[in-house]
C-alpha cells in the first residue's frame, strides 16, 4: 500500500476518533454511562467490534472501552492486547475505521438520526442491516441466485451511467449496497441512490439494490453485516478474528466500487474492506487495490471506462457468473423477481379470480413433443391482446425426457412462478389454478407478447432441468371455453399428485437425500431430507432433492441409503450415520431424525423457524425467523438463532422448516405435536389448515387453542399460568429428560 494511501487512511482514522469521542461524551452526559444501546434485531451487539474482539458493547460505558481499543490500534506500542493482530499501520487503521464508524452509527441511532432520510428526495435509507435479513438471504447465497455483493461508494458521472452500472449488476444477480456522496461530472454533490431515484429505478432488498446512507461511514453497515455471516453460518467464535477474516475473504464474494473523487475517509474505509478480503476498484487514478490474505499490494491502472468497470470488478474478485436468459425483449434475473406491477402500471392481466387461468406441466412420450414449439390457441388473439385489460390464460407445457418422471411435474411447474417473475415487467403470483399474472405497460412497449410466456417457460425449463427434460412444447389457450375445459383435466391431475405425496412417508422409501448446499457457508452442516422432513430452510423437500440429484448427480443433493435401522423411534439409521461421518467435516457421528434431545440435526443458519425446549413446561416452543418479540425461553429469535447455527448439534435447540411441524415425524420420539406449548400467532395462522387434522390424529382436537402465543405469554411465568388454565397435555406427559 502506497505511502499516500497509508497516510490518508491514518489521518482519517484520527478525524473519526475525535468525532466519535465527542459524540460519545455528549451522549454519556445526556443519558448516563449505563444507558443501554442495541442495534435493531441483532444478537451480536456492535457486530464488527464483537466479531473481531469478542467484546460485547451493551452500554455507553462499553462503547467507551471499544473506543479506547481503536486508540490502541493506532499506536505502535499498545498497552492493551485485546485487539492485536498487527496488520501494518494502514490496515490497522482500516479496521479501526470500521470500529469507529460502527460507534458513530450506533450513536446516531441513539439520537434518532438513523436510518437517515435523503434531504433531496425524502427517501429513507435502509440503515443497519438486521440478522433476519442475513438469514433470509441464506439460500439465495448458496444456490447461486446471489453470487456476490457490491458496495458502490459515491456518485457516477451522470444518472445514466449510474443506472447502467447498477442494471448490469442486477442482471448478474449481485446484491448492491449504496453509500457515500461525491461530485458528478457537472460538479453537483450527489450519490448513486439519488441518481437511481431520478431514473425511476426501484430500490430495496427485492430488487437487489440497497441504499445504506449518504455518507461513506454508512458503508460500515455492509461490513458489519458481512462479518456476521462468519458467526451465523460459519460457526466462528467472536474474537477469532483470523477465522473471520479468512471467512470473509474466502466465502463472502464482495467488492467495493468507488465512483468519484477519493477522500481520506474513503481511503481508510477502503483499507478496512481490504482487511476483510474485499478488493476496491475505482474510476479514478488508482483503480484497483487487491487484498491477498491480510497483506495487500496495489495495482495501478489507467482510468477505468464505466462500461467495463463491472466486468473488471468481477475479474478481480474472481466472480464467475453464468446467467441463463431467455430470448425476450426485457431484462431477466432474480433481481427483478420482487418487482410489483401496480394497477396503473399494468397493461394486461390473467387469472387472479378475474379470469379463468391455470398452469400445468404434463409428461409425454418423446415422439409426442415437438421441441421448442409454442402455439397460441384462441380467437382474435392479437387484437384482444393489444386492447389490454384482461384475458383468460392456460399455460400447458408438455415435457418429455428419458429421465422424466411424473413426480417431477410438480417441481417443474413450481418454477413457473420464478421463470415469469424474473422477467422485468412481468409478474406472477400463486400456482396451479389460482395463478395471477400481469404485464406492465413498459414491458408491453418493450415488445412482450403472449408468445414470450411460452418462450420463457420453455427456455428456463430446459435450462433448469436439462438432465431430465429433453423436449419442451408449450401451448397457451386464451379462450375461456378451452381454458375451463382443460382446467377440469388439470384439476384431476393436481388431486392425484397430492394424493401420491400424502402417501409418501419415511418408511416407504429406502433412500433419503442430503442437502449440502449450505456447506459453502456452514462447512459442517448437512440437511438430511426424508419424505416426512424437509430441509430447514423450507426450500427443499425429498422430491426436490430427488429431482436435483437426477439433474446433477455430482451436485449438492446426494442419495443416502438408509440401511439397517438402529432406532426406529428416534429415527436413526446406519447408512445415515455413515454418510454424516463422511460428509460433515468430522462434526457429526450420529443423527436422530425424530428427536430434539439426543444428537438432533444441525443447523446452518437459514432455518425458517426454531424449536427450543421449555424445561419448566415439559414441552417445546416454536418461533419463526423475523419475529422480533420476546419468547418464553427468555430470548428473542435473534439471540436463540445465535445459539443454534453454525453446523453443530445443540440438544434442546434446533432449526427447522415450518412445514416439518405438521409432519407425523415432528419430534416423534419426544411425544410429537402435543409437546408444543408456545408458538407465535404467525405460525398458528400459517399452519392452521394442516394443523387441525394432525391435532385430531393426536386426539387433542383443540390443541391449537391450548398452545400459548405472544398475546397471552411472553415469559415463562405467564406461560405456565396459561398452560395450567387450559390444562395443556404436555403437563401430563413423560418428562422430556
Ligand atoms: Fe441449506 Fe438445508 Fe436448505 Fe439445503 S435444505 S439449502 S442445506 S438449509
Ligand atoms: Zn442454510
Residue 626, C-beta contacts closer than 8 angstroms, at least 6 positions apart: 132, 136, 637
Compute the average pLDDT of residues 112-134.
Answer: 92
Compute the average pLDDT of residues 691-718.
Answer: 96
Task: Please tell me the residue having the least CA distance from ligand 1 atom 1.
Answer: 518
Instruction: Assess whether the previous peptide bond of 362 is cis (omega < 30° from 0).
Output: no
Q: What is the pLDDT of residue 531?
A: 96
pLDDT at 243 over 80: yes
Banded pLDDT at 692 (limits 50, 70, 90): very high
Ligand 1 centroid to Cα of residue 219, in Å, is 30
pLDDT at 58 over 50: yes
Ligand 2 centroid to Cα of residue 241, in Å, is 23
Task: Please tell me the residue having the least CA distance from ligand 1 atom 3.
Answer: 537
pLDDT digits (tens, 9 = 90+) for 16-51: 999 999 999 999 999 999 999 999 999 999 999 999
* Ligand minimally distant from the alpha carbon of residue 525: 1
Ligand 1 centroid to Cα of residue 613, in Å, is 23
Pocket probe for ligand 1: among 143, 514, 540, the residue whose CB has the most ligand atoms within 8 Å is 540
Pocket probe for ligand 1: among 234, 529, 539, the residue whose CB has the most ligand atoms within 8 Å is 539
**Residue 409 near residue 497, CB atoms below 8 Å:** yes
Task: Please name which of 534, 535, 516 lies closest in space to residue 524, comparing C-alpha atoms.
Answer: 516
Q: What is the pLDDT of residue 288?
A: 54
Atom of ligand 1 nearest to the CA of 519: 7
Atom of ligand 1 nearest to the CA of 527: 2
Banded pLDDT at 81 (limits 50, 70, 90): very low
pLDDT at 15 over 60: yes
Ligand 2 centroid to Cα of residue 232, in Å, is 10
* Ligand minimally distant from the alpha carbon of residue 646: 2
Q: What are the φ and ψ backbone dihedral angles of 17, each rounded to 5 degrees?
A: -60, -50
pLDDT at 722 over 80: yes
**Start-to-end Cα distance in the chain:** 59
pLDDT at 308 over 60: yes
Residue 376, C-beta contacts closer than 8 angstroms, at least 6 positions apart: 450, 451, 454, 475, 476, 478
pLDDT at 678 over 60: yes
Atom of ligand 1 nearest to the CA of 539: 3
pLDDT digits (tens, 9 = 90+) for 181-202: 999 999 999 999 999 999 999 9
473 bridge partner residues: 398
Task: Please tell me the residue having the least CA distance from ligand 1 atom 4.
Answer: 515
Banded pLDDT at 333 (limits 50, 70, 90): confident
pLDDT at 297 over 50: no
**Residue 163 near residue 196, CB atoms below 8 Å:** yes
How many angstroms separate the CA atoms of 455 and 460, rounded? Answer: 8
Residues lining ligand 1, Cβ inside 6 A: 139, 142, 515, 517-518, 527, 535-537, 539-540, 604, 606
Ligand 2 centroid to Cα of residue 511, in Å, is 22
How many angstroms separate the CA atoms of 471 and 586, rounded? Answer: 43
How many angstroms separate the CA atoms of 136 and 517, rounded? Answer: 15
Number of C-alpha atoms within 13 angstroms, CB side, residue 730?
30
Compute the average pLDDT of residues 363-387.
Answer: 95
* Ligand minimally distant from the alpha carbon of residue 534: 1
**Residue 221 near residue 269, CB atoms below 8 Å:** no
Going along the chain from its start, the domains and CATH numbers come out as: 3-110 (1.10.8.190), 131-317 (3.40.50.2030), 334-495 (3.30.1650.10), 507-732 (3.40.1470.10)
Q: Regarding predicted confidence, which is higher, 732 or 283?
A: 732
pLDDT at 259 over 60: yes
* Ligand minimally distant from the alpha carbon of residue 535: 1
What is the side-by-side strand order in the sheet with 609-614? 653-656, 609-614, 619-624, 676-679
199 bridge partner residues: none
Burial of 467 (0-12, 13-18, 19+ CB in 10 A): middle
Compute the average pLDDT of residues 89-109.
Answer: 90
pLDDT digits (tens, 9 = 90+) for 563-603: 999 999 999 999 999 999 999 988 899 999 999 999 999 99
Q: What is the pLDDT of residue 82?
A: 46
Atom of ligand 1 nearest to the CA of 139: 6
Burial of 700 (0-12, 13-18, 19+ CB in 10 A): middle
* Ligand minimally distant from the alpha carbon of residue 660: 1
Residue 440, C-beta contacts closer than 8 angstroms, at least 6 positions apart: 341, 345, 346, 347, 425, 426, 427
Compute the average pLDDT of residues 694-704.
Answer: 96
Compute the average pLDDT of residues 204-230.
Answer: 94
Amino acid at each position: 500500500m502506497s505511502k499516500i494511501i497509508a497516510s490518508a487512511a491514518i489521518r482519517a482514522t484520527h478525524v473519526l476518533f475525535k468525532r466519535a469521542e465527542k459524540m460519545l461524551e455528549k451522549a454519556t452526559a445526556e443519558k448516563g454511562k449505563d444507558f443501554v444501546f442495541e442495534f435493531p434485531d441483532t444478537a451480536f451487539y456492535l457486530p464488527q467490534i464483537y466479531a473481531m474482539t469478542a467484546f460485547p458493547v451493551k452500554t455507553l460505558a462499553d462503547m467507551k472501552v471499544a473506543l479506547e481499543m481503536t486508540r490502541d490500534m493506532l499506536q505502535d506500542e499498545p498497552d492493551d492486547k485485546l485487539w492485536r493482530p498487527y496488520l501494518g499501520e494502514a490496515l490497522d487503521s482500516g479496521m479501526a475505521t470500521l470500529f469507529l464508524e460502527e460507534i458513530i452509527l450506533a450513536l446516531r441511532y441513539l439520537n434518532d438520526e438513523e436510518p437517515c432520510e435523503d434531504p433531496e428526495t425524502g427517501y429513507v435509507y435502509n440503515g443497519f442491516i438486521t440478522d433476519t435479513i442475513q438469514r433470509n438471504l441464506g439460500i439465495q447465497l448458496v444456490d447461486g441466485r446471489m453470487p456476490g455483493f457490491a458496495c458502490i461508494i459515491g456518485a457516477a458521472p451522470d444518472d445514466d451511467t449510474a443506472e447502467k452500472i447498477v442494471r448490469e449488476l442486477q442482471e448478474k444477480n449481485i446484491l448492491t449496497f449504496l453509500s457515500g456522496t461525491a461530485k458528478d461530472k457537472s460538479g453537483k454533490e450527489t450519490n448513486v441512490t439519488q441518481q437511481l431515484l431520478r431514473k425511476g429505478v426501484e430500490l430495496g432488498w427485492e430488487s437487489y439494490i440497497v441504499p445504506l446512507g449518504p455518507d461513506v461511514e454508512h458503508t460500515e453497515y455492509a461490513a458489519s453485516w458481512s462479518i456476521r455471516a462468519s458467526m451465523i453460518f460459519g460457526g466462528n467464535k467472536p474474537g477469532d478474528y483470523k477465522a473471520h477474516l479468512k471467512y470473509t475473504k474466502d466465502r463472502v464474494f464482495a467488492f467495493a466500487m468507488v465512483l468519484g473523487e477519493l477522500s481520506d475517509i474513503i481511503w481508510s474505509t477502503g483499507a478496512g474492506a481490504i482487511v476483510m478480503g474485499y478488493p476496491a476498484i475505482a474510476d479514478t487514478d488508482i483503480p484497483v487495490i487487491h487484498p491477498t490474505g491480510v497483506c495487500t499490494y496495489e495495482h495501478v491502472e489507467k482510468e477505468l471506462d464505466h462500461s467495463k468497470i463491472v466486468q473488471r470488478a468481477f475479474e478481480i474478485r474472481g466472480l464467475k457468473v453464468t446467467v441463463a436468459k431467455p430470448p425476450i425483449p426485457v431484462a431477466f434475473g432474480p433481481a427483478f423477481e420482487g418487482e410489483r406491477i401496480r394497477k396503473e402500471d399494468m397493461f394486461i392481466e390473467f387469472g387472479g379470480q378475474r379470469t379463468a387461468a391455470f398452469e400445468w406441466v404434463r409428461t409425454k412420450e418423446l415422439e409426442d413433443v415437438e421441441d421448442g414449439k409454442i402455439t397460441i390457441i384462441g380467437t382474435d388473439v392479437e387484437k384482444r391482446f393489444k386492447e389490454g385489460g384482461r384475458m383468460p390464460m392456460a399455460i400447458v407445457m408438455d415435457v418429455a425426457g428419458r429421465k422424466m418422471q411424473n413426480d417431477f411435474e410438480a417441481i417443474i411447474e413450481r418454477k413457473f412462478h420464478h421463470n415469469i417473475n424474473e422477467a422485468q415487467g412481468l409478474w406472477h403470483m400463486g400456482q396451479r389454478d389460482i395463478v395471477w399474472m400481469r404485464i406492465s405497460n413498459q414491458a408491453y412497449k418493450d415488445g412482450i407478447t403472449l408468445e414470450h410466456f411460452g418462450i420463457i417457460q420453455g427456455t428456463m425449463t430446459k435450462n433448469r432441468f436439462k438432465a431430465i427434460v429433453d423436449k419442451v412444447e408449450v401451448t397457451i389457450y386464451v379462450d375461456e371455453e378451452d381454458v375451463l375445459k382443460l382446467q377440469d383435466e388439470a384439476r384431476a391431475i393436481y388431486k392425484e399428485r397430492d394424493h401420491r405425496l400424502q402417501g409418501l412417508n419415511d418408511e416407504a422409501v429406502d433412500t433419503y437425500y442430503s442437502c449440502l448446499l449450505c456447506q459453502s457457508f456452514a462447512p459442517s452442516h448437512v440437511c438430511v431430507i426424508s419424505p416426512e422432513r424437509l430441509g430447514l430452510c423450507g426450500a427443499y423437500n425429498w422430491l426436490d432433492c430427488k429431482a436435483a440429484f437426477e439433474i446433477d448427480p455430482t451436485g449438492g443433493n446426494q442419495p443416502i441409503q438408509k440401511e439397517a435401522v438402529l432406532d426406529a423411534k428416534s429415527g436413526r439409521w446406519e447408512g445415515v450415520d455413515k454418510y454424516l461421518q463422511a460428509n460433515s467435516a468430522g462434526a457429526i457421528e450420529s443423527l436422530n431424525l425424530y428427536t430434539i434431545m439426543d444428537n438432533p440435526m444441525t443447523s446452518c443458519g437459514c432455518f425458517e423457524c426454531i424449536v427450543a425446549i421449555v424445561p419448566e413446561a415439559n414441552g417445546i416452543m416454536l418461533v419463526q425467523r423475523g419475529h422480533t418479540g420476546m419468547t418464553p425461553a427468555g430470548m428473542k429469535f435473534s439471540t436463540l438463532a445465535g445459539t443454534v447455527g453454525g453446523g453443530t448439534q445443540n440438544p434442546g435447540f434446533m432449526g427447522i422448516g415450518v412445514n416439518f411441524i405438521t409432519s407425523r415425524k415432528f419430534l416423534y420420539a419426544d411425544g410429537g405435536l402435543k409437546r408444543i406449548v408456545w408458538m407465535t400467532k404467525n405460525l398458528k395462522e400459517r399452519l392452521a389448515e394442516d394443523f387441525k387434522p394432525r391435532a385430531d390424529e393426536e386426539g387433542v382436537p383443540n390443541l391449537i387453542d391450548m398452545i400459548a402465543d405472544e398475546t397471552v405469554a411472553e415469559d415463562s411465568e405467564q406461560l405456565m399460568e396459561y398452560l395450567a388454565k387450559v390444562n395443556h397435555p404436555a403437563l401430563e406427559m413423560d418428562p422430556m429428560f
